Structure 1
Amino acid sequence: MNGNGSTLTEEQRKRIEENRLKALERRAAFLKSKGNQCQSNNNNNNNNLFSNSLKNSISNQPSKPNVSVNWKPLPSVTSIKAGPPKSASTFYTKKGLEGIKDNPANGENPGFLGKKITGNCHLISKDRFVVNLPYHAQSIDIFKTMPSRQYDFNSKKWSFCITDHSNIMSALGPLRSSVSISPLPSYVLQALKKASNYPSSSSIDLMPLDPSLLEAFMPFQREGVGFGVSRDGRVLIADDMGLGKTIQALGIASYYRNEWPMLIVTPSSVRYSWAEAVDRWIESVDAYEVVVINTCKDSLEGTVIIISYDLLSKRAQEIKEMNFSVVVMDESHMLKNFKSIRYKSAAPIMKSCRRLILLSGTPALSRPSELYTQISSVDPKFISNFQDYGIRYCAGKQQQWGWDFSGSSNMEELQILLESTIMIRRLKSDVITQLPPKQRMTIILDPSSIKLNSKSMKEAAINFKKESLKGAEKHGALIQFFNESSSAKLKAVCEYVKELLTEGN
């Protein structure tokens, strides 16, 4: 490689120069034949036009005897200057002409008159990228010199190792007058470089965790905990519903136990389910250390604080001042709208904590723009500018009144980037062999929504406790008590189901 960054070998230079000379010869022959054709056509057209005009003018005059007309044909066109077609007008701007010289060198083509060929690059794996480009002989000659080249006959595209990216862009530089290829964005290359330095999930030692947690992990859950720890505790766990995101979050959080107290933010319907999970799997935490916040007046003192998104919005400043180091955000897709009060309340807390664990089985419910708030919360430096993100991954288009980021583009690349850096996602089909038989679970409902003191409930309880009841009468009283208890839980059950539907699960 020489001082100016070029990587062209002598063989490449020779091949490019041969192609350039052939192209110039074809262009000269084309312009010569075009010029002769235009000269002949113009002579005929001028004569015909003048003759027809004369005939029309004579036919409109009164008939006169012995009318004679002397005329000479228009002078023939002896030269024609070729100019750019209208479709290529944007190429011939001041910016587009930069680099075009009178004396071509290094394979440049100053006489290029066609439409400029454009292309782009995108990832197909964390190690390889593909170049999307229409057929262009000189570019293909350069592609063939790259050691990692691969050609897909089905898609008719060339792919290369990430390590060859800068070499390809440098080698294509001399062709910039006829070819423009957008390289991979710098944030993509930086993210892949950063990901290559992460330790593997299997190399993380999880022995400091509670034995009850270690015994409860399934293999893929242990991998998820290792992934989160390898990312310094800032991670998005996007496993399919029912794969145990809760136990994985508690595993990652427990790894940083010395940084507690821990804040858990959840939908209101599952606050007590989280309290039960902590009590079940983290034996070193006593039940009185787990505090579930139900009102704006409840104390925030405790080892594990569990609060709903709605109450977080009302007590955001108070919670922010407590400087939690470990934060878990359950159903993090509820933060998708950066304009919402919910996100504005949570954002400062998420960005200031040292460990942030986001959980969502559906991180983007309808479009990739909904992912950005979660990505920027976990890693603010990943893609710091939403417009850059929107243009590349949301098919961003500038409309009359601003940008439209409602679409999607480069989804394969986005998934590769996220899974290489901050996100782990497994579907049930991926881990079906590791799953136990179907399990029944008890859902802890919000007690504030359960009516325990209704008159009918009290009467059913008193009736069931009567010692005089025997056999069928006792069974009937039990059924009546169950019926009344189900009515008492109806509101809480409806709220739980409604939140599940709202969350897209």
Structure 2
Amino acid sequence: MMNKSLNHSFYGQAQAQQRLAAKCSLISENRFCVEMSSFSNEAVRVFQTIPTRSYDPKTRNWNFHVKDYQLVVSKLRTLKDKLKVEQIPKYVLECVNQSQDEVFVDYNKLDPALSSALMPFQIEGLNFGIDKKGRCLIADDMGLGKTFQALAIADYYREDWPVLIATTATMKAVWEETIRTYLPSVPITQVQYMVSGRDYIGDSKVLIVSHDMMTRALDKLLQRSFGVFIVDESHVLKSFKTKCYKSALLLAKKARRVILLSGTPALSRPSELFTQLDLIDNKFFGSFYEFSTRYCDGKQTNFGWDASGKSNLQELEIVLAKKFMIRRTKEDVLKALPNKKQELITLDTKLEEFSETDRQCLVALGEKYNNQKKSSDKHAVLLTYFSETAKMKIPSFLHFTSAGKKVKFLVFAHHQVMLNAIEDIVRKKNLNYIRIDGNTTMDQRKYFINKFQYDDSYLCAVLSITAANVGITLTAANLVIFAELHWNPSIISQAEARAHRIGQENTVVVRYLIALHTADDLIWPKLQEKQETLKQVGLCRENFDRVEIKKQNKDVVLEGLDLNGSSSDIRAYFSPQKKRKREDKVEDVFDDGLDDILSEHVEIKEKEIFDDGMNDVLCDIDF
């Protein structure tokens, strides 16, 4: 009897293991596909009975019109002994099946000064916000006037005022100036910037706070009952762990209109979107578990719930566009904007130029990174490796000269040691320059920006990639140099947009300086992986695969003259010893975890001197 019972149990397990999986997901607003885990004659026979069937030989998937969804699922259920069907969530179907009524927009409700300043695509953004009843995410490219669109939506719903604007400390002056210029109907005395939790805010119609102040003065802000809530650079709320997100969620629940602004709503992975979407509609996805299971390949591991992956990104892109987000790139709306040319320069880094200790340190870090098994251990080593790389790249950077035609250029770096070295080089070349980093005050930033933009004698801007990648316009430059990389492609795109934006009249050349046998060998492929994932969800159109590759030449000119060299596959320049291996686990390729490490260790404090806490944080973290 026992043997029969065991045999029956084993037979049942074998049957369960033989069941195929059929995953349904949207591929457009009108069509969905069924992805089979393996070929099934029975399933094919079912598909062939559906009127709207179509077979894609590239993906080897069958797809159908959304109107036949229930028919397909019901027929597949007849194969339940052999097939397990993963259905499209109900909220997705309701989203795409919802009738699209034309929304009437009374533009007479807008302040005339603001209404007349809006460009056609910004009016489209206004219409989108009103169609979503003032709860939306404006994710346009950097430099396309998200501030104008947010203020237009807020102005349209003036009966719901007062307005709360949470932004970065550096953007405070931009918001104030825009409101003063384009909303003259709002008395300047009713536009207030909160600098202390003790400030009286009872008379303010528009209150501007930093993200940090929003957290520290939460109780006072909740008592004021803001009907319109604008969150600038909303990607800072990407983590559940931060007090900033928890504060924003409470304020969003009380507000009738919630407008989020970010040119980079997800810096690395799809899971970063959930907290922002939750502010707009905290009931749509149900929970983070449901969202991450569907779109982040969420799964239980020995270390807890892992939501660092990616899945069903095409469907997520459709849901975002239909329900939450409007996104346009500069190429979409600014046809006259000059091109952007990207070049990767492989520096002539010679390890023999360094001391034996330095060489051993660099080689040891590279080997240690490759030998680590745990992701957390890899992260810690990479942080140190990145810091050491900055020191090793400085001599190679010295090879640049300032001969030839002089044009304005921006130089971005991350570590203070590299920023200081660049500043020394520029000073020795007798070039007038500005420097903006985490220690630059808001007043200094404005003065430096004006100097660079309008004084022809100022040729160089030395910039921290984390302190100067948003909130400034430097279109006087048409050359952008990255002395160091950043592990997020979105951060790099933001930095490039300081020059490549509205007001630029010339082609912008962007150069990434890569040093072989350093952490650059690891960071560059990480950037490519992340960029590809963000492209799949509609949040990135850049393509580092098409970047022109050049070798450093001793006659390289910093100001933008032609370089000698030939294009090649980037992988040919990676060190064979440290060439990155693509592993099967998604998290090892895609989730580097560096952003979460930074968010856990950095506390942004409100003070007159703008210190975003990011400069040199990599080499300051004690692991």
TM-score by length of 2: 0.53
1:210 aligns with 2:114: no
Cα shift readout 1:5-64 (whole Å, capped 9, x = no counterpart)? xxxxxxxxxxxxxxxxxxxxxxxxxxxxxxxxxxxxxxxxxxxxxxxxxxxxxxxxxxxx
Q: 2:300 aligns with which of 387, 390, 398?
A: 398
State the secondary structure of the residue aligned to 2:101: coil
AA of the residue aligned to 2:329: L
- Given that 2:136 and 2:259 are in contact with CA atoms closer than 8 Å, whether structure 1 keeps it comes out as yes
1:269 aligns with 2:173: no
1:312 aligns with 2:235: no
Whole-angstrom distance in 2 between the partners of 1:337 and 1:396: 16
- Report the CA distance shift for 1:498/1:214 in structure 2 as closer, same or farther (over 3 A): closer
AA of the residue aligned to 1:243: L
How far off is 1:373 after superposition?
0.5
AA of the residue aligned to 1:130: C
- Given that 1:328 and 1:358 are in contact with CA atoms closer than 8 Å, whether structure 2 keeps it comes out as yes
How far off is 1:151 after superposition?
1.5
- Given that 2:25 and 2:315 are in contact with CA atoms closer than 8 Å, whether structure 1 keeps it comes out as yes
Q: 2:32 aligns with which of 100, 125, 129?
A: 129
1:116 aligns with 2:39: no
How far off is 1:239 after superposition?
0.6
How far off is 1:434 after superposition?
7.1
How far off is 1:339 after superposition?
1.2
Q: 1:177 aligns with which of 67, 81, 86?
A: 81
Match in the other structure for 2:42: 138
AA of the residue aligned to 2:208: I
- Given that 1:200 and 1:227 are in contact with CA atoms closer than 8 Å, whether structure 2 keeps it comes out as no
Cα shift readout 1:175-219 (whole Å, capped 9, x = no counterpart)? 1111222111122212323xx334346x53433212222221111
Whole-angstrom distance in 2 between the partners of 1:415 and 1:447: 38
Match in the other structure for 2:59: 155
Match in the other structure for 2:13: 90
1:258 aligns with 2:159: yes
- Report the CA distance shift for 1:446/1:206 in structure 2 as closer, same or farther (over 3 A): farther
How far off is 1:84 after superposition?
9.0
- Given that 1:219 and 1:434 are in contact with CA atoms closer than 8 Å, whether structure 2 keeps it comes out as no
- Given that 2:167 and 2:210 are in contact with CA atoms closer than 8 Å, whether structure 1 keeps it comes out as yes
- Given that 2:248 and 2:279 are in contact with CA atoms closer than 8 Å, whether structure 1 keeps it comes out as no
How far off is 1:404 after superposition?
0.8
List aligned pairs for 1:232-247, cutoff 5 A: 232-247=133-148
Whole-angstrom distance in 2 between the partners of 1:198 and 1:295: 45
- Given that 2:170 and 2:442 are in contact with CA atoms closer than 8 Å, whether structure 1 keeps it comes out as no
How far off is 1:433 after superposition?
2.2
Match in the other structure for 1:292: 193
How far off is 1:169 after superposition?
0.9
Cα shift readout 1:140-175 (whole Å, capped 9, x = no counterpart)? 222122222112122221111111111111122221
Whole-angstrom distance in 2 between the partners of 1:388 and 1:359: 25
After the TM superposition, which parts of structure 1 deviate over 6 Å for at least 4 consecutive aligned residues? 83-86, 434-438, 445-448, 492-495, 498-503
Match in the other structure for 2:99: 197
Whole-angstrom distance in 2 between the partners of 1:276 and 1:446: 23
State the secondary structure of the residue aligned to 1:374: helix
Larger radius of gyration: 1
List aligned pairs for 1:61-72, cutoff 5 A: none
5+ residue gaps, structure 2, are: 1-6, 341-435, 445-450, 472-485, 495-623
- Given that 2:193 and 2:207 are in contact with CA atoms closer than 8 Å, whether structure 1 keeps it comes out as yes
Whole-angstrom distance in 2 between the partners of 1:232 and 1:135: 46
Whole-angstrom distance in 1 between the partners of 2:234 and 2:156: 21
Match in the other structure for 1:332: 234
Whole-angstrom distance in 2 between the partners of 1:392 and 1:494: 34
Match in the other structure for 1:473: none
Whole-angstrom distance in 2 between the partners of 1:406 and 1:131: 24
- Report the CA distance shift for 1:170/1:239 in structure 2 as closer, same or farther (over 3 A): same
AA of the residue aligned to 1:125: S
Match in the other structure for 2:324: 422
Match in the other structure for 2:90: 186
1:382 aligns with 2:284: yes
State the secondary structure of the residue aligned to 1:358: strand
Cα shift readout 1:298-349 (whole Å, capped 9, x = no counterpart)? 2212111111111111100110111111110000011111111111222100
Q: 1:364 aligns with which of 266, 277, 296?
A: 266
- Report the CA distance shift for 1:437/1:495 in structure 2 as closer, same or farther (over 3 A): closer
State the secondary structure of the residue aligned to 2:334: helix
Match in the other structure for 1:431: 333
Whole-angstrom distance in 2 between the partners of 1:243 and 1:306: 21
Whole-angstrom distance in 2 between the partners of 1:446 and 1:252: 34
Whole-angstrom distance in 1 between the partners of 2:275 and 2:233: 13
State the secondary structure of the residue aligned to 1:417: helix
RMSD: 3.4
How far off is 1:437 after superposition?
12
Whole-angstrom distance in 1 between the partners of 2:442 and 2:334: 36
- Given that 2:269 and 2:308 are in contact with CA atoms closer than 8 Å, whether structure 1 keeps it comes out as yes
State the secondary structure of the residue aligned to 1:321: helix
Whole-angstrom distance in 2 between the partners of 1:437 and 1:119: 44
Whole-angstrom distance in 2 between the partners of 1:212 and 1:177: 66
- Report the CA distance shift for 1:496/1:272 in structure 2 as closer, same or farther (over 3 A): farther
Whole-angstrom distance in 2 between the partners of 1:294 and 1:287: 17
- Report the CA distance shift for 1:329/1:407 in structure 2 as closer, same or farther (over 3 A): same
- Given that 2:77 and 2:85 are in contact with CA atoms closer than 8 Å, whether structure 1 keeps it comes out as no
AA of the residue aligned to 1:276: E
5+ residue gaps, structure 1, are: 1-82, 97-113, 452-478
How far off is 1:257 after superposition?
0.8
State the secondary structure of the residue aligned to 2:63: strand
1:229 aligns with 2:121: no
State the secondary structure of the residue aligned to 2:50: coil
State the secondary structure of the residue aligned to 2:335: helix
List aligned pairs for 1:70-85, cutoff 5 A: none
Cα shift readout 1:215-245 (whole Å, capped 9, x = no counterpart)? 2111111111100000000000111100110
- Report the CA distance shift for 1:290/1:447 in structure 2 as closer, same or farther (over 3 A): farther
Match in the other structure for 1:283: 184
Whole-angstrom distance in 1 between the partners of 2:244 and 2:120: 35
How far off is 1:288 after superposition?
1.8
How far off is 1:369 after superposition?
1.0
- Given that 2:22 and 2:85 are in contact with CA atoms closer than 8 Å, whether structure 1 keeps it comes out as yes
Aligned residue-pair number: 361
Whole-angstrom distance in 2 between the partners of 1:361 and 1:449: 22
Whole-angstrom distance in 2 between the partners of 1:187 and 1:143: 24
